[in-house]
Structure 1
Amino acid sequence: MRHLRVGLAQINSTVGDFHGNRARILDAARRAAALDADVVAFPELAVTGYPPEDLLLRAPFIDEAEAALAALARDAEGLPPLVVGCVEFDGVLYNGAAIVHGGEVVARYRKHRLPNYGVFDEERYFQPGHETPRFLISGVEVAITICEDIWYADGPAHDAALDGAEVIVNINASPFHAGKTGERERMLATRATDDHIAIAYVNQVGGQDELVFDGNSLVIDARGAVIARGASMREDLVVADIPVDEVRQVRLHESRVRRERHAADPATPLHITAASEDAREPLAPTDLEPPDALAETYDALVVGTRDYMHKTGFQDTIVALSGGIDSSLVAAIAVDALGPEHVRGVSLPSRYSSEGSIADAQDLADRLGIELIAMPIEALHQAALDTLARPFEGTTEGTAEENLQSRLRGMLVMALSNKFGTLVFTTGNKSEYACGYATLYGDMAGGFAVIKDVPKTLAYALSRHRNTRSEVIPQAV
């Protein structure tokens, strides 16, 4: 039986770090080569990092990207063919994939479907491609698609299948949201069964700015069954054997493929590597269980926080601890992302703070192993009220006075940030922000809003989940 041994390298690229991204690609390619992979695929725009946004409008950035791809090709000589996401400039800019082999770029593919919704803005930068080339890799007809291309039933994957492709290599930078893992898997299974084709889907992993990429790379056979799965929320190299003869067997039983075939004589696929007798030992099966949804959401928050800090050059953070659930969850995420030595808690009690909440903040800090600095704001609060007494004279006490405490706390944590070069994590949740229950220049003061997309009910669920790993959030909270 014919097999194509495919390697899927879900790496954590950094936008603009051409040297670091190239090193990650080469490391994964060498490990895949040691496992006798026939082809190794990397995520969308792996060379530049994703999303590069307006860096794509800078000519020196494009020049560096092209130089990095050329250097990668030279360094990868002697390795199996690599499918690498990259930009391509040919009078206009394309979101592309390069096949690298024998020390050079031997072929390219240009993304057809450019997303322009939500967090995506690709039509601002790229022109769409229109060709759907096929390649002979180890004697197997392979086509390449990029991310959005595979989501359309009538997209380039369908065209390639009708022209004779047996395997689709789909490279991605597909951001995470709750439920995305299941949505994606169902879509890929549908695409595989509709087009009677095997799919090797590789996805980026890690955080970039406000986005989190989850990995969860997949290999799906022509019957829609998952035969290999990458890790969730961490770098991984998946190497799997795709049963190519199964594609032919499925198509022999399906007349629709013959009826819909686009051309009587499709273009000849470009030869990359020849077939050889397969005497390799079968690979051990990977874990095929999908990740737990709540655990994956928590891990996404940890990964997004960790990579935001590291990729922006910060090492340490400050979290104001009130003794409530939101600040407790943020502190736990911060410690899991950065380690306790990089997290400092601050307690800022006033006359309205209960002894219980102050004690809970200290209990949390002790459990997490972080320092807690106590800075009572009572004197500052009274001084501010005294200063405002004359202009406020004759008015009814209201939100201006209520917000003073929050703004004093914001001033103090930002002073610590300014003094020690640390980033402040804000602790507001999505429910509060949606209802306007937040104070500008107060509890919104900071550099990164860890749980801004977490509703209050989910904050409780995530806290309970975190305590199943080790009980760091006090039950009293």
Structure 2
Amino acid sequence: MTLKIAIAQLNFVVGDLAGNAQKIVDAARHAHAEGARLLLTPELSIAGYAAEDLFLRPAFTEACDAAVLGIAAALADLDDMVVVVGHPHGGSLKSRSVSVQLRHNAASVIQGGRILETYAKRELPNYQVFDERRYFTPGQGTCVFKVGGIAVGLLICEDAWFEQPAQLAKYAGAEVLAVINASPYHVGKEGERVARMADRARAVGLPLVYAHGVGGQDEMVFDGASFAVQADGTLALQAESFKEKVVYAQVGRAQAAIEFIAEEGAIAPPREAEAQLWDALVLGVRDYIGKNGFPGAILGLSGGIDSALVLAIAVDALGKDKVRALMMPSPYTADISWIDARDMAERLGVRYDEISIAHTFESYKWALAGEFEGRAEDTTEENLQARIRGTLLMALSNKLGSIVLTTGNKSEMATGYCTLYGDMAGGFAVIKDLLKTTVFALARWRNAHDPFGTG
């Protein structure tokens, strides 16, 4: 007895309920044609993660419920196909003086045109980027359902990081754990997930499949890298990170136990940290700009390493035709700055323009001459240059619709080596989480690799 499980490692869009639903239906039909009889979608796949205060709108949750029913109806003809869909469920109790959340972070089990069960997430994270207790209340139950004679215990993300939900699923008869997730990426997160889920599998003595989405949403990036581990914690499947695809794992009954069937090539080879970090930055830029409908990006190119790195990321994310670089020299700009800026733009093939800020800078100084009389020039005048550049970039953004990418790194932001309303101005800070040492390391890696064939 075997069961082929499909993992919808797909890129969902917050609020695009119709698009997300269609993506699930298409994945289910494709998986069924490939012989799978269970499809796992990521946490909150209908709504997209994280929909934040959209969850507080009753109409949004009702629309999510309707979308889940729509998926059930669309797949009614596949009567032997089971699909797990993540979605918000329920509402809240409100008065003029109190608001009590009755809404759950849930997942429904669909088969034969019906919702068989709906499971509510028990453990709600409320740290770092997570704010789930603002929107949801914890569930209390378990969910175990059968597919092809195998009992599957359903958990949602944080549930699997704690002992009790998995133990309760086992007590309810689960033979394999299915964990659907929305787990934001950070350096080293992939290995951390595998280690923790291996611990969980060993603790309960059950194999575990970890279904994860991929894509960017505001400041978060989801890296995919779905996987499966045996009951002893051994890795049985590891999907590629940052790749949108349907991934398959097969479980079978060996004597009295369930285990994943080993397949050649099922474990993606490990990748160096810089390669994963580059993919995360590229995906974050591509999805922030694409999902928000910007036609392209613009950035100030100074001839320095930070703006050069951001330009390379933007071109890999969007293509050269959607990226524009602007050099804005002043009387204090060294020749090497514009020489390097021109060379970088030429190498990547982007539109490059130079707008001198000398006259604008002098007009600012003239306007302030009376107020500054008797005072020596200092960082005030230096910051004026940065603020002029920020104003010009934002004017082009307003006129053309392209978003301004800021180029400051985490070391500069942390120490205050930046200009308010100057080089901090823009719509998306691409490398704000990179220390300067990481900027250098990533630049060296990119000079040695061309992962997207952009030069």
| Residue identity matched to 2:220 | L
Q: What is aligned with 2:180?
A: 171
Deviations 1:47-70 (A, max 9, x none): 111101111111111111111111
Among 370, 377, 383, which residue is 2:350 paired with? 370
- Please say if residues 232 and 291 of structure 1, whose CA atoms lie closer than 8 Å, have aligned partners that are also in contact: no
Q: What is aligned with 2:87?
A: 86
Please say which of residues 154-163 and 201-210 is displaced more in the overlay. Answer: 154-163
Matches for 1:265-276 after TM superposition, within 5 Å: none
| Unmatched 5+ stretches in structure 1 | 251-280, 473-477
- Pairwise CA distance, 1:382: 1.5
- Pairwise CA distance, 1:377: 1.1
Among 140, 143, 155, which residue is 1:133 paired with? 143
| Residue identity matched to 2:228 | V
Q: What is aligned with 2:288?
A: 308
Deviations 1:445-477 (A, max 9, x none): 1111000101111011111111222399xxxxx
Q: What is aligned with 1:347?
A: 327
The secondary structure found in structure 2 opposite 1:143 is strand
Q: What is aligned with 1:113?
A: 123
Q: What is aligned with 1:263?
A: none
Among 231, 235, 242, which residue is 1:226 paired with? 235
Cα distance change of structure 1 residues 405 and 89 upon mapping to structure 2, 3 Å threshold: same
The secondary structure found in structure 1 opposite 2:324 is strand
Cα distance change of structure 1 residues 244 and 312 upon mapping to structure 2, 3 Å threshold: same
TM-score, normalised by the number of residues in structure 2: 0.93
- Please say if residues 116 and 122 of structure 1, whose CA atoms lie closer than 8 Å, have aligned partners that are also in contact: yes
Deviations 1:283-329 (A, max 9, x none): 65424323321100111000010000011110211111001100000
For residues 214 and 29 of structure 1, what CA distance do their matches in structure 2 show? 21
Q: What is aligned with 2:449?
A: 469
For residues 385 and 335 of structure 2, what CA distance do their matches in structure 1 show? 17
For residues 58 and 327 of structure 2, what CA distance do their matches in structure 1 show? 48
The secondary structure found in structure 2 opposite 1:141 is strand
Q: What is aligned with 1:37?
A: 36
Task: Give the paired residue count.
Answer: 440
For residues 314 and 338 of structure 2, what CA distance do their matches in structure 1 show? 20
Matches for 1:242-253 after TM superposition, within 5 Å: 242-245=251-254, 248=257
The secondary structure found in structure 1 opposite 2:202 is helix
Q: What is aligned with 1:77?
A: 76
In the alignment, structure 1 residue 380 sits paired with structure 2 residue 379: no
Q: What is aligned with 1:103?
A: 113
The secondary structure found in structure 2 opposite 1:155 is helix
For residues 389 and 282 of structure 1, what CA distance do their matches in structure 2 show? 76
Cα distance change of structure 1 residues 247 and 4 upon mapping to structure 2, 3 Å threshold: farther
The secondary structure found in structure 1 opposite 2:130 is coil
Deviations 1:63-106 (A, max 9, x none): 11111111111011233100110111176211111011101211
Cα distance change of structure 1 residues 435 and 102 upon mapping to structure 2, 3 Å threshold: same
Deviations 1:17-54 (A, max 9, x none): 01110111112111211111121100000011110111
Q: What is aligned with 1:55?
A: 54
In the alignment, structure 1 residue 202 sits paired with structure 2 residue 211: yes
| Residue identity matched to 1:117 | Y
- Please say if residues 349 and 378 of structure 1, whose CA atoms lie closer than 8 Å, have aligned partners that are also in contact: yes
The secondary structure found in structure 2 opposite 1:390 is helix
TM-score, normalised by the number of residues in structure 1: 0.89
| Residue identity matched to 1:392 | F
| Residue identity matched to 1:313 | G
Cα distance change of structure 1 residues 284 and 38 upon mapping to structure 2, 3 Å threshold: farther
Deviations 1:190-218 (A, max 9, x none): 11112111111111110011110111101
Matches for 1:286-365 after TM superposition, within 5 Å: 286-365=266-345
Among 199, 202, 205, which residue is 1:193 paired with? 202
Over the aligned positions, Cα root-mean-square deviation in angstroms equals 1.8
- Please say if residues 5 and 36 of structure 1, whose CA atoms lie closer than 8 Å, have aligned partners that are also in contact: yes
Cα distance change of structure 1 residues 244 and 88 upon mapping to structure 2, 3 Å threshold: farther
For residues 461 and 27 of structure 1, what CA distance do their matches in structure 2 show? 40
| Unmatched 5+ stretches in structure 2 | 93-101
